[in-house]
Amino acid sequence: MKEKVVLAYSGGLDTTAIIPWLKENFDYEVICCCIDCGQGEELEGLHERARLSGASKLYIEDIVDEFCDDYIVPCVQANAVYENKYLLGTSMARPVIAKRLVEIARKEGAVAICHGATGKGNDQIRFELGIKALAPDIKIIAPWRMTDIWTMQSREDEIEYCKAHGIDLPFDASHSYSRDRNLWHISHEGLELEDPSQEPNYDHLLVLSVSPEKAPDEGEYITMTFEKGIPTSLNGEKMKVSDIIKKLNILGGKHGIGIIDIVENRVVGMKSRGVYETPGGTILMEAHQQLEELVLDRATMDVKKDMGNKLAQIVYEGKWFTPLCDAVRAFVKSTQEYVTGEVKFKLYKGNIIKAGTTSPYSLYNESLASFTTGDMYDHHDADGFITLFGLPLKVRAMKLAEVKANEK
């Protein structure tokens, strides 16, 4: 009986070419596994394609709700944003994909897991760290790094290789944007984006959204509720997180929300330029932050900001299944106990405009914040506070003056 390998399969040209390559070079039985994180129509026709390419079996695993509840929500609660812009759409999906690949490999008794990530990107790190953390005994095969036996260098090479192995599928040899899509976002790389001096061709590039210029001239109001930092309803309708994100994607895309153009620092040491569409995610992140403004105290918000940046780095680097990630997420979760309430805002031409926030746990006190004197605040108390708060500054200034006087 042949040994089995589980291939992380998308149905694209790369992973299609990998199927006969694995059989030819390793004599494996190839089990394809396509992980559905919300790619939509990209999953159509995969069973037939995998069979024609030589796979013995194809799993299509729907993990959308797990992705939303166990990976997206913790990052939203942390406000985990990489380098101030990137909402981690691809990064958050990789650990849950790795987890399911390991589960299928265990089920099938496979000795190896293969992925089609290149040697220049972040995904090879994210997939492999996840697999190593969950299944250190399983072999990992990365064809693009095995240049002694993976000799294909272009789409034309891959198409010819497939044809030579009896696989004649309708792949296009022309180059286009390199995209990664899931429920949270879609990323775009390649073509004019490889030159940072060039403006993105948004008319050809955008998939989920319109540019702000093409958004409606009338704004649209949205209301969301949260319980303990988890979104629970949209416009008065209770629904699960994945459905909220789906609806927000439609609303945000309509109004040109969440389009970013970023040059980011990859883990492997190079800079890369990409355009990300995250319409629903951008709205969800902003709504959660608006609610936290009311509920969290200053000291907690200060530390949480650092923890959010730390979690963004952890997730970006593929270190989800680590003690550090567990510890940071535990801290963030503890801050969400009272992040409950309602947020209202207006979407208008790429902008999310506040329109009112309420919470039963709001720390905003009108009596304290008002210019009129309330019962809880005596203006005279500020004298002593400022004296003590500024004491180090005063002592230092006095010492410097004393030293300067002694020098004369």
- For this structure, is 197 an active site residue? no
Q: For position 372, what pLDDT does the model report?
A: 63
Distance CA 105, CA 8 (A): 11
* pLDDT for the residue numbered 131: 98
Question: What percent of the chain shows pLDDT beyond 90?
Answer: 91
Identity at 344, one-letter amino acid code: K
The type of residue at 260 is I
244/44: higher pLDDT? 244
**Over the chain, what HEC string results?**
CCCEEEEECCCCHHHHHHHHHHHHHHCCEEEEEEEECCCHHHHCCHHHHHHHHCCCEEEEEECHHHHHHHHHHHHHHHCCCECCCECCHHHHHHHHHHHHHHHHHHHHCCCEEECCCCCCCCHHHHHHHHHHHHCCCCEEECHHHCCCCCCCCCHHHHHHHHHHCCCCCCCCCCCCCEEEECCCCEEEECHHHHCCCCCCCHHHHCCCCCCHHHCCCCCEEEEEEEECCEEEEECCEECCHHHHHHHHHHHHHHCCCCEEEEEEECCCCCEEEEEEECHHHHHHHHHHHHHHHHHCCHHHHHHHHHHHHHHHHHHHCCCCCCHHHHHHHHHHHHHCCCCCEEEEEEEECCEEEEEEEECCCCCCCHHHHCCCCCCCCCCCHHHHHHHHHCHHHHHHHHHHHHHHHHCC
Residue matched to tokens 């650990």: 95
Pair of tokens at residue 130: 């996840």
For residue 342, list its beta bridge partners. Answer: 225, 358
In the predicted model, what is the mean pLDDT of residues 80-106? 98
Residue 371 has pLDDT above 70, yes or no: no
The predicted structure's pLDDT at residue 374: 63
Output the average pLDDT for the chain: 95
List of residues 6+ apart from 405 with CB closer than 8 A: none
**Side chain identity, residue 95:** P
Contact between 90 and 312 (Cβ < 8 Å): no
pLDDT at 370: 64
Structure token digits, residue 404: 């300067």
- Position of tokens 């004491």? 391
Residue closest to 132 by CA, chosen among 98, 106, 108:
98
**Catalytic residue, candidates 56, 178, 211, 362:** 178
pTM: 0.94
Among residues 113, 131, 95, 114, which one has the least CA distance to residue 15?
Answer: 114
Higher pLDDT, 370 or 11: 11
Based on the number of CB atoms within 10 Å of its own CB, is 368 exposed (0-12), middle (13-18) or buried (19 or more)?
Answer: exposed
Residue 369: pLDDT band with limits 50, 70, 90:
low
Question: Which tens digits make up the pLDDT trace of 165-195?
Answer: 999 888 887 778 999 999 999 999 999 999 9
Using an 8 Å Cβ cutoff, are 30 and 55 in contact? yes
* Rounded mean pLDDT, 306-322: 98
**Per-residue model confidence as pLDDT tens digits over 2-55:** 999 999 999 999 999 999 999 999 999 999 999 999 998 778 889 999 999 999
**Active-site option among 10, 123, 126, 180:** 123
Work out the average pLDDT over 295-314.
98
User: Token pair for residue 369?
Assistant: 């914040």
Active site residue 302: no
123 is catalytic: yes
Residues in the chain: 408
Confidence category of residue 1, pLDDT binned at 50, 70, 90: confident
Query: What's the pLDDT band for 119 if we cut at 50, 70, 90?
Result: very high
381 is catalytic: no
Q: Which of 383, 347, 116, 322 is nearest to 222 (CA)?
A: 347
Determine what percent of the chain is predicted with pLDDT higher than 70.
98
Residue 66: closest CA among 38, 39, 107, 32: 38
Residue 285, pLDDT above cutoff 70: yes
Please give the pLDDT value at position 321. 98
pLDDT of 312 reads: 98
**Which one is catalytic: 14, 100, 273, 359?**
14
Angle between helices 298-316 and 323-335 (to 10 degrees): 150
Determine the pLDDT at residue 302: 98
Confidence at residue 171, expressed as pLDDT on a 0 to 100 scale: 84
The average pLDDT across 242-268 equals 98
Give the residue among 92, 110, 88 at the shortest CA–CA distance from 33.
110
Catalytic residue among 94, 100, 181, 329: 94
pLDDT at 376 over 80: no
